[in-house]
């Protein structure tokens, strides 16, 4: 009846990673390491140019700098562990370290969901109400918008991580995943996880449903406004200002919806089975998406490309 009779404390977890597919480990180690370096370089350069180039001191690039910093934090919270797991079969991670990773991973993902919604509002005001843009998107507005994105993501992560680490684990400490992902850890609980499932569904609505609805409505107005522009050149310029954000939104939310569209119940978690695709899809979200973000914004944005070239030319002349 008492907890001591049916549960035992777990000091750490064993992460299986791709140990069931040893032929893929070295290939994915090299591939993910290269992607991680590209993430650090690409997002680091974006942060640098948005700080150093005065022409980029606008709300859109302020949000972009936050997005780049967020992508660096998210990948750094998980990728080094994943890489180490490829080299160390059945990687052991302490309970506290696993909890920290779960917190940062969920916090960064939740923050990015909200932040992309804020960026959609910025594009809506810029295209649909350009004359009011300096007033609506003043520093007194866009800084609190960014701060609130981080606060919402962090708060949601505290709730989910707290609910997860309070669960009893009945001796089974093998995580059949690449890292300490919340859904993978929930598979190890030996009690009913209905509260966790409900909280996950609420988070899906708040962090996925609401921002996507907000972004969709914003782009309905944006597209309607663009179509009313008489000249083809004007329509092209207007669409180019939001095409990068729209591309990032499609990639980011498309992957997230595929991952978390249906929180799994306790019954479906008991066998602790996971397909290879269930491991690789979160990896795609966690590595490929942050790698593509700076590439998309750089290729589709003349201001960013110009700022990068100016920064590179200044470094060359300095030498």
More confident residue, 197 or 154: 154
The answer, yes or no, to whether residue 165 has pLDDT greater than 90, is no
Least trusted range by pLDDT, from 31-40, 48-57, 295-304: 295-304
The answer, yes or no, to whether residue 176 has pLDDT greater than 50, is yes
CB-based contact 98:15 (threshold 8 Å): no
Report the distance separating Cα 221 and Cα 225, nearest Å. 6
- Residue indicated by tokens 């996507």: 212
The torsion angle over the Cα atoms of residues 144, 105, 154 and 14, rounded to 10 degrees, is: -170
* pLDDT single digits (tens) 99-127: 898 899 899 989 999 999 999 999 999 99
**Partner residues linked to 156 by β-bridges:** none
**CA angle, 170 as apex, 167 and 174 as ends, to 5°?**
95
Q: Using alpha carbons, list the distances in angstroms from residue 97 to 22, 70, 109, 149, 165.
A: 25, 20, 18, 25, 11
What pLDDT does 316 receive? 57
Average pLDDT of every residue of the chain: 82
Give the model's confidence band at 65: pLDDT under 50 very low, under 70 low, under 90 confident, else very high: very high
Report the distance separating Cα 193 and Cα 103, nearest Å. 18
Give the model's confidence band at 4: pLDDT under 50 very low, under 70 low, under 90 confident, else very high: very low
CB-based contact 269:187 (threshold 8 Å): yes
What SS3 class is residue 110? helix
Give the pLDDT mean for 43-57.
Answer: 87
Report the distance separating Cα 50 and Cα 304, nearest Å. 8
Q: What is the pTM of this model?
A: 0.84
- Residue indicated by tokens 């309905």: 220
What pLDDT does 269 receive? 45
What pLDDT does 238 receive? 83
Give the model's confidence band at 187: pLDDT under 50 very low, under 70 low, under 90 confident, else very high: confident
More confident residue, 257 or 271: 257
Q: For 111-129, give one letter per residue: b (16+ CB within 10 A) or e.
A: bbbbbbbbbbbbbbbbbbe
């Amino acid at each position: 009846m008492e907890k001591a009779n049916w549960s035992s404390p777990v000091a750490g977890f064993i992460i299986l990673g791709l140990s069931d597919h040893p032929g893929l480990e070295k290939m994915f180690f090299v591939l993910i390491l290269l992607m991680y370096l590209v993430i650090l370089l690409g997002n680091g350069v974006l942060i640098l140019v948005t700080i150093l180039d005065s022409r980029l001191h606008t709300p859109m690039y302020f949000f972009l700098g936050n997005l780049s910093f967020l992508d660096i934090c998210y990948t750094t919270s998980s990728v080094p562990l994943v890489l180490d797991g490829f080299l160390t079969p059945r990687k052991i991670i302490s309970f506290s370290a696993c909890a920290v990773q779960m917190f940062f991973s969920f916090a960064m993902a939740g923050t990015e969901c909200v932040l992309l919604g804020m960026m959609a509002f910025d594009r809506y005001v810029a295209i649909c109400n350009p004359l009011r843009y300096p007033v609506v998107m003043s520093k007194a507005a866009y800084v609190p918008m960014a701060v609130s994105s981080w606060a919402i993501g962090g708060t949601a992560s505290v709730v989910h991580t707290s609910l997860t680490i309070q669960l009893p684990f009945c001796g089974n400490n093998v995580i059949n995943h690449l890292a300490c992902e919340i859904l993978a850890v929930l598979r190890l609980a030996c009690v009913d996880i209905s509260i966790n499932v409900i909280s996950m569904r609420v988070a899906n609505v708040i962090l996925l449903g609401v921002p996507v609805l907000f972004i969709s409505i914003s782009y309905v107005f944006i597209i309607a406004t663009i179509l009313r522009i008489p000249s083809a050149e004007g329509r092209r310029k207007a669409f180019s200002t939001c095409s990068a954000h729209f591309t990032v939104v499609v990639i980011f939310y498309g992957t997230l919806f595929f991952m978390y569209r249906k929180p799994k119940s306790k019954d479906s978690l008991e066998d602790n089975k996971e397909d290879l695709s269930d491991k690789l899809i979160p990896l795609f979200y966690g590595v490929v998406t942050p790698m593509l973000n700076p590439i998309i914004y750089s290729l589709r944005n003349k201001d960013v490309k110009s700022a990068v070239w100016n920064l590179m030319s200044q470094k060359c002349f300095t030498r």
